[in-house]
Structure 1
Amino acid sequence: MAANLHPEEELVSPPPPTNQKKATKEFVEQVNELRRSRNVGPLSWNTAIKFLMARKFDVTRAVSLYEQHEVTRHREGLVNLNPTSDPLRTELDTGKFTILPCRDETGAAIAVFTARLHDPRATTQQTTLQGVVYQLDAALESRETQRCGLVFIYDMSESAYQNFDYQLSQKILTLLKGGYPARLKKVLIVTAPLWFKAPFKVLRLFVREKLRDRVYTVSLPELVNHIPGKCLPRDLGGDLSVDHNAWLLRCQASMTNRDPSGVCEPVPPLTFQSGHNSTADSDNNSTTMVPTGDHDPTSSVEQLCEFSEDDVSCCEKSFSHDSNDEDDLEEGHVREDGRLSGLINTEAEDPINEEKRKDGEKDLSPSLKGECSPVPEIQDTAHLNGHVLHDTDHISGRGSPLAPPSSGSSGFSDDDSLHYDDGRGFTLEEFVRHLRDKGRQGLYHDYTQIKSRPPDGTFENSRKRWNQIKNRYTDVLCFDNSRVVLSAEDEECHTDYINANYVDGYKQKNAFISTQGPLPGTFGDFWRMIWEQRVCVIVMTTRAVERGRTKCGQYWPAEQDGVASHSHFTITNKHVYHYRDYTVSTLTMRDNGSSEERKVEHMQFTSWPDYGVPDSAMAMLEFLNHVRESQARLTAALGSSWSGHPLGPPIVVHCSAGIGRTGTFCTLDICIRRLEEVGTIEVKGTVEKIRSQRAYSIQMPDQYVFCHLALLEYALHNGKLVEVDLTGFEDDGSESD
């Protein structure tokens, strides 16, 4: 049930349970020692509880949070806030940031930043941050918010590029993840346009700390999957009526009634006199947010830490539902050697959460750092075609002697991938000159050279008599060395074949599975592959029927509430979302033997024309962006059950043959990821490497040209290029299937 926030709610932090008393004393002693060294009076008990609750009463982490909070508030000028005077008063009146009068189903408070209401030209970053912190301070006076944390919604609906301030976004997230005594439960970035680069950079930072599952980029319809509609305002598709002015009045009331030390004082100059125990130095007309204490400076630690039995019961309940939470979002951890490991320092070793190790939870840090991680709980292994095979009991619960290889089970590192920055790519300026010099006909010539090279591999399994019927086209076979091997359901291993190959992504081994459009006779094999490879997202780049020809069988229930059964799986379509250029179906896949269920999203691109290639790449680029978002969200939902690459299990991509549009999709994703990371493009080399894993990928010359022009369109749309002169590039084209 969502809990409403009432003005009469008691705004006092709950004391810790009796068994936390020692930790509280230790925290107060350490912090007060710091404060004495800075000539500041002792910290109040209520303020101590806020920091301890934010770090689950881990004293070392709570002290680190306290120090980082002081530094951040001082550095950003978040002190002595006066909401009755400009510029803060005007900033608050914009309503760009507010706390909703409702909580999510876990009891977390919900904060919303509306990007379209923000104009970086009309206000400073400091003033905007002050408006955010002023309201967060008021929200954090609630014991419920301290216990259950905060959900942060960054609403980009109807916003334009001029509304976006990347540095401000970084500062807000840096504050929340490590410089503020609140437990950030989730960040929801709503309706992020393609030019919005910050979410991806933020995700990379969070991945370093194994916290990527807390950041989601979602569409407006998907928001209700995270927060009930009754707790969302109407402009976010919900039913909630929001009165921002009423909230501001409550903030002002909480300022008057709150514990005077509700927010920690920032680092003061050393010239401060001791004994400033009720207010920080400020003008008399200012409403300060950072007083230092409401008690006698001589109060003992024991007096600060007295609890009642009711208080003990309350706080014990507050942590009972959080026992499985991830690490809290914080700027840095103190490691066992006493050094502070920061989130931004990507060269530093990832900190280890000792609590999780004691609980037997797997440490995911090796795969997150790009190293090979061990496969847990698997004893018997074998190797086939360079892949690790494991007992299927660990994957599907069935007793086949060997399970297929999976990017999730073998702990592939970034360095295993064929695609990386090898120093041979073009900068964007060089890429434009390359296209202008080559022209369309020159690219056709390059493609002819690629196509003329014979496949570097064998197709023995595809040509076996009992497997030939499983191939949609007699001349589109799959390499033996990269094929997906299904778990055998017979002793002769006649059931381990499917026309599908692993394809590497940019710095990601086995990022994709390129496969043909399933045939009616292979529907069961297809869904076995989805299950065994733990696939979350299926990408379909064709219609089932085009120009009167069947391109793919109807292997999934297309209608909402539709049900289909294949092999020993039942697939149910829970919801269908129709977009202009593609359709997304949310599927539930159930293993009838074990009754285990998993979520899979089927994403079908429907705007590829019957002839040729799209006139513009924007529809495909938007589709690709949505695929990435869905993959990130569903991978995060796997939690500790996923121990492979941080970007998740393979994405299954298919068209009809699994080489043309499929190869185009994979090429674009690889090239864009490389462009995002190192700023270079190498289409020809990318296509050659893809073809070494899935033979004949990029089937027609126009698809090869389309990849080049799509990357150019991506760069223009994202502001990486201002204008491009390709005079003379166009010439006679050719048809693409």
Structure 2
Amino acid sequence: MDPQRKLKMEITFFRNLLKFLRATKAFLEALSGSGAACVSRATAIKFLFARKFDVARAHALWRQHEATRRREGLNKFEPFEEPLKSELETGKFTILPTRDATGAAIAVFTANKHFPSQTTHQTTLQGVVYQLDVALQSIETQRAGLVFIYDMSDSKYTNFDYELSQKILTMLKGTTRERSRLRPASCVIAISFNSTGGYPAKLKKVLIVTAPLWFKAPFRILRLFVREKLRERVHTVSAPQLAVHVPRASLPRQLGGQLDPDHASWLEHCKNCYTNNLQNAKLDCDIDEYVISNHIPPVKQNGIIESTCDMTSDRAARLDHSTDMHISGDPPYTCDPSPLRNSHGYNGDMKGRHINSGDEDDLDISTRGTWSSGEASPGQSDEECGGGGAGLTPEALLARVQQLGRRGLFAEYEEIRARPPNGTFHHAKLTSNLAKNRYTDVLCYDHSRVLLSQIDPDDPTSDYINANYVDGYKQKNAFICTQGPLPKTFCDFWRMVWEQGSLVIVMTTRSVERGRVKCGQYWPLEIGARAVHGGYAVTTEAVDTEDDYTISHLVLTDLRTEQWRRVWHGQYTRWPDYGVPGGGRAMPVLRFLRHVRRAQQAAVAELGDSWAGHSKGPPIVVHCSAGIGRTGTFLTLDICTARLAAEGLVDVRGTVERIRAQRAHSIQMPDQYVFCHLALIEYAVLQGHIESADLTGFDDEQEDESD
């Protein structure tokens, strides 16, 4: 790493560390000054994490949390006696022993296991809080937050309890600021999600799985009444679409995943933590260190299970009043719900990670560990994706290009390309998967790969396709970058398109170039023609031909269910392999890009109530031959033009680095890197960001190299 950059990172770390310590001290002093009972530093950290270390907001959250506990009768209950014991054993609510790609814990409420006539709201809430309190002892969960999966598979209207669902979501996010007068039973999650917060856990996403029709329609209407930032976190998805949000390896089998969670073992872990906390609370009483209330252990005023199963480090930190916080290689408490693990690229520690979620302003405190994908963590929020980092104004971009010239940009690209891959390729290298790769040296990362449904229970590799998710501008997993399909992978390709809900396919290669096959003909060319690949049929309805690209309007049908959807297919035909569009002209590519975006918007609008995910729609599938050169160039232009239009800033280098962290080797040649800069300058002129761009002499130093 560059020494200057390393020094800057170290300065930022210590500056944020000081801010972290000051915030913790200020939070404790604020509680003490308000006359509240004393709480530990571990408790302070939980509430500060949940409010981005804003002391005033964290203090308000603590007060709201206390009020919620008292109001809902959550200040005293017995998990080993009836009726709570039986409630816990139903498994209707559980914390999975895995995490999502961002490190967030995963909570699942299974609707078809809930029978409102057989239990009270208070008992069910107690079961939820008992488990959440244990999960939240993990500092990773405090940092990364919680994904809440509301599984409505095979549920009936009689399983749905509006008031209970409202209480759960209100508890997680507090009392609502805006309540709609509409109160259909299916709208509770959207209502409660727009709230101030009461529980010290960051709710990152609500995923409503297999929602029935009686739920979808009113839910769609109510989404219009909540703020956009919150609305983007609530998704109604099918079980196969869950993989867009949570790795399939982190999901239970009933949700199409690979996990067999042991709820009994999880409850045993909760019991051990509960028992240890009782003992630790008694010890606190004996030494009269804190005032004890009637909340669940460790019976501090805030009511959060906060001590460690192995009390050593936390106890030392709490007894040493001269130390603001225990900062070392180990967290200050260790009652983590093992085996909570991240099965999607995280190697076990937390180096290069941020303490907060990035939904607002960052508190950039790095701790131990590293993402296998390098500095560009897959844990970005929608708000962070493709923006938020360093950026140049169009004038500054033009000046930089003029200063560096073609040779300087070539050198900058070579510096990027010289870095080793930021991840592993274990699945792509499996013997049974090797034949599915078009090129032996173009493989897909493990941490961002697209997982297909496992159609063969005896073949775990039937979930493989050479494809990776890549983030767009303020949209996670906006794209799927993949290779040009092989005849043997046509069925896998269309299965991926169907399962991911994709509506638009972008192809930046011709099928045959320079006498070599670059991509199989995976869709019918003739209007009215139909091709069958595995369990899917593809029919061409219409074809529009332009000078530089061809647009095919396809219908994709799942032959098992006879369900169908329209797919827009755009093929750019004047973009040579290892190069840039003919003559280096940016205008046709920018025009094509505009067609792609309009097609995506129109397709999402056509879905109507059946789509309740991100407003920009499901992932756009982009491929060339290898899925890295022209594909990476197209993505760079899309992300950078979107940011330039929204913020007036552009960051080509940073964008390329982030794309390469999710799809290895993206942007294959230096000319493609240069083309991105020139195309963005042309776009800036067209959009009126700058009046003109004088690049006289830019090509004078062009090297005589064959691309």
With normalisation by structure 1, the TM-score equals 0.48
With normalisation by structure 2, the TM-score equals 0.50
